Structure 1
């Protein structure tokens, strides 16, 4: 018995399928009496579909066809009835195969072609000697080099806010630096009025935080970024507000307030539902009609206000906690304002089958998200380089993601290695610069959209927050790492195969992660990427090609036949044609 869901001989088409598309299944089982495709829609019981005996490319078994009726997840396995027993073919032990069925959608090309740079505004740059504004009950670090810290009491409650003073003026001044680096998109952590440095506790959705600038500053930033072909994506925190917001204060003061229905009061006015139990973050009822109108309705809604100024996309914070209909409506209204805008979600797992609060999410069914933050990408790459998983495991993990995601979603995935919520990649990799460069190389040669967390490109370090939110080390950049980033970004931008090319994963060795990029209509042009987490002897069957080693500059000329070579630890890019 044999079945391979990633081989067109056994499942055609492979991967996720569009709604209404016919799927052909074939299993090898020459001596079987009968076979069934046992399949279920996510919300329905299993049904058994009889399969017909068939021969395919000299192999004997059973085939059937299936046309899904809804855009949603399906799960399936095969039941094989033999003379003396019944057998089951599943993906892995008792785990069924997943079939993602989606309504066709397209992610704007500018986004899929982009390099994203994430900026935590307070920590990026301040062109002035002092902050442009101050917050009550807070302190300003004496120098930009000071390490961030939380001031907490005996109950481990944050009792004082801390700031460096970075602002939008500083971002404007550093736009040429970002352009030279090769950045196409700036994704900002929240910039709306708030009493914190991170600003995930919004006070006023229609106002730029005073420590960052004002709306005129933001308009200038948009204009200057446009001159450099850099787009702006904002962080939308719509699951909760700050407890000092006008909205919550009004709701808490008067039940007749127009904001009262926004919140979940348990014992009015002092007991209410909050995000993960933090009283400073009262949770919002995102299904409340007045709240939805405020966020994304007609007129001067939050969505309309900022998108009309030139914002090209939004990242939805804790999107798992927002109802799917809210996300769908936000996406539809966003596209009405700008049909080329993108919607990204904060999802930490495989976003194709995410379940949260007893609700199966439909992020990639065609009407919700364009992209998600690629935490599975990060975890797989770092776990492999640290020796926590081997070459076979990372290969299978990425095959599963590729199979589960619609192609548009996979090629729009935000491929990250550090964020404001995780330790910096260099720390996770135990300060091993060779492995760090390997992680960056995967980012820049993989399918999806590379994401750079500010200052990663200059070798900044940092453990879990707040340490991962240090001030950008201007004047103390690691030039070797910075130049390496520039080199790999240029490689991606100058060779479209890394952006649009197909990707295929293959296993070579437990200490090697490898994949190839290619175009279906130009099979002679192929690029192979190999990540060695330690020195590895490999025997490779090669056509004439060149091995580019991006650490020592070593070049190995290869003729026909077998190459036996002891590859040093690091990343190798092998191309069958000259790369630009």
Structure 2
């Protein structure tokens, strides 16, 4: 196996223990080594700390070292010495050449994020398209003047001028009516895209943050939804746009009307009142300037701020997904992102402590390399497009031509499984382990094509993607309708209404797969909080294990036939994994020597448990 002989370390409990200002670090070294060192940086200088051998099991040696925790972040990597050969081990993997600090393992100082997050799963709801108050399907007779009413059976337009104005009439009471579906599916967090009033159905152009849109049922509907979710043991996450408001927002109207107002300092005016900075140049989305102390107070600092108000009270939400988190506080030479995200995280902890809760989740939208934004006490996790979504898409892609990659006009790339593994390891090397485990693994979101369309409508390739989603570190993230096979060729067209009244259109097979795999993840601690060790990858397969406290979960994913690969007992820490879930054409066999053989005659997966 390609990676089985590599030394290994990750941020899981089997490898890291923090006590009394020290980090005890353990590294797994197949075949042993002459010496192992931990390389840390003190005052800008690299320092090597020798590790001591802590035992050998089946030819695999374990080394252990203790290093002092640094303020904010402790970065480190290992040097494994065999004769005259040095192997550097960082979060991206093992290297026989010099490496930079960029891929180092990182431990963050300060209070940890909520402990419940790595074990959870998320279900995204776009309220206008999920469910109405009743079972009607005709275009809404009552609608705002900006809206284009649509039948519940209409297919949304793709990207274009009118896409955000299509109004299907879903409400928060409609979401509450369908919570039993989510409970049966086994998801644990209901994430709502924005619910504040706006002149669009995406509602990212809010006109106020002080109330819930009456079109969705108002404040009452949100509180009742949260209460009903909590009664079922679910949590509810809101969506807050910290980067911009809508041009009809009460703050922006005041800012334009009075250049001397405090609100005028909330925005970047180049020439008052008509020239100002909009998000990516969009004039309807004026960008917020966090140089304003009063803006910070109103967004998250004050007890009646936007962030705090909805996290407190009788039926509070359980966290925030931050829209355009990567751009918040950034404009030209100004970069306040780290400062603002740190203040938001600290403020949420204060609120949690005051209400005696078990923590609120702070999840950042981030389409690209999130690493540099996470090397401090700020965003708990990210929407991991770079480290999960796009690598899995590019591997399992059989999409039609209209599905694009990012905003390019080029087709979606088609790469092998080993390229996907390389991409995941590279992108995730920048994330501290605790950030990776508090991030989400999405196959689809409201900003992307549907995964079912990416895989060309193939239910088996879809299921392979789900298996990856529930077995890799990070919380599984479903966009409503993924579980029944909804399609969509771009982020607007993918926002299709849930066909509650057409159950015959549901793919029951994929619904069953989601339900089974989410249940398996809940049952296996190693899938929730265990480490990740890659064993092998080829053009058509990837193989890894998740381990925790003696539990070994072997995962093999394939997109087609491949030459069988074998895992020896030492690769599996002497565990004898037995299939717990499988699908498609993957075969799990034994080699007669205590190891296993994995082959495939078509797309499929196997998840086997031992220990």
| Range of TM-score over shorter length | 0.7 to 0.9
Q: Do residues 173 (structure 1) and 177 (structure 2) align?
A: yes
Match of 1:134? 143
Identify which of structures 1 and 2 has the higher relative contact order when contacts are C-alpha pairs closer than 8 Å and 6+ apart. Answer: 2
Q: Distance in 1 between matches of 2:531 and 2:27?
A: 23
Q: Do residues 332 (structure 1) and 346 (structure 2) align?
A: yes
Q: Distance in 1 between matches of 2:421 and 2:540?
A: 11
Choose the corresponding residue for 1:483, options 512, 515, 522.
Answer: 512
1:331 deviation in Å?
Answer: 1.5
Q: Do residues 372 (structure 1) and 379 (structure 2) align?
A: no
Match of 1:232? 236
Is the CA contact 1:548–1:555 (under 8 Å) kept in the aligned structure 2?
A: no
Is the CA contact 2:300–2:344 (under 8 Å) kept in the aligned structure 1?
A: yes
Is the CA contact 1:530–1:573 (under 8 Å) kept in the aligned structure 2?
A: yes
Match of 1:382? 393
Q: Do residues 470 (structure 1) and 496 (structure 2) align?
A: yes
Q: Deviations over 1:498-532 (max 9, x none)?
A: 21233211115432111112223xx3x42211001
Q: Do residues 412 (structure 1) and 438 (structure 2) align?
A: yes
Map 1:85-484 onto structure 2 (within 5 A).
96-97=100-101, 98-128=104-134, 129=136, 131=140, 134-149=143-158, 152=161, 161-308=165-312, 309-322=315-328, 323-338=337-352, 339=357, 340-351=359-370, 353-354=371-372, 361=373, 363-365=374-376, 367-375=377-385, 376-386=387-397, 388-400=414-426, 404-474=430-500, 475=502, 476-484=505-513
Match of 2:522? 493
1:107 deviation in Å?
Answer: 2.7
Is the CA contact 1:234–1:313 (under 8 Å) kept in the aligned structure 2?
A: yes
Match of 1:511? 540
Q: 1:67 to 1:25 in 2, by over 3 A?
A: farther
Match of 1:33? none
Match of 2:333? none
Match of 1:532? 558
Match of 2:404? none
Q: 1:499 to 1:528 in 2, by over 3 A?
A: same
Please say which of residues 447-456 and 538-547 is displaced more in the overlay. Answer: 538-547
Is the CA contact 2:552–2:577 (under 8 Å) kept in the aligned structure 1?
A: no
Q: 1:452 to 1:378 in 2, by over 3 A?
A: same
Q: The residue matched to 2:255 in structure 1 has which SS?
A: helix
Q: 1:544 to 1:559 in 2, by over 3 A?
A: farther
Q: Distance in 1 between matches of 2:384 and 2:496?
A: 23
Would you say how many aligned residue pairs link Structure 1 and Structure 2? 543
Larger Rg over CA atoms: 1
Question: What 5-or-longer segments of structure 1 have no aligned partner?
Answer: 31-35, 153-157, 355-360
1:134 deviation in Å?
Answer: 2.0
Q: Distance in 1 between matches of 2:164 and 2:419?
A: 45
Choose the corresponding residue for 2:579, options 547, 572, 576.
Answer: 547
Q: 1:194 to 1:92 in 2, by over 3 A?
A: farther
Q: The residue matched to 2:270 in structure 1 has which SS?
A: strand
Q: Do residues 570 (structure 1) and 580 (structure 2) align?
A: no
Given the two structures, how large is their TM-score scaled by the length of structure 1?
A: 0.82
Q: 1:101 to 1:164 in 2, by over 3 A?
A: same
Given the two structures, how large is their TM-score scaled by the length of structure 2?
A: 0.78
Match of 1:155? none
Is the CA contact 2:587–2:606 (under 8 Å) kept in the aligned structure 1?
A: no
Q: The residue matched to 2:346 in structure 1 has which SS?
A: helix
Q: Deviations over 1:66-85 (max 9, x none)?
A: 7564434758899x9xx9xx
Q: Distance in 1 between matches of 2:431 and 2:228?
A: 36
Q: Deviations over 1:94-148 (max 9, x none)?
A: 7514343420442323322211100111111113336495221321113433333
Q: Deviations over 1:358-380 (max 9, x none)?
A: xxx3x242x21211111121122
Q: 1:53 to 1:490 in 2, by over 3 A?
A: closer
Question: What 5-or-longer segments of structure 2 have no aligned partner?
Answer: 90-94, 329-336, 398-412, 570-574
1:6 deviation in Å?
Answer: 5.1
Q: Distance in 1 between matches of 2:152 and 2:598?
A: 50
RMSD (CA atoms): 4.0
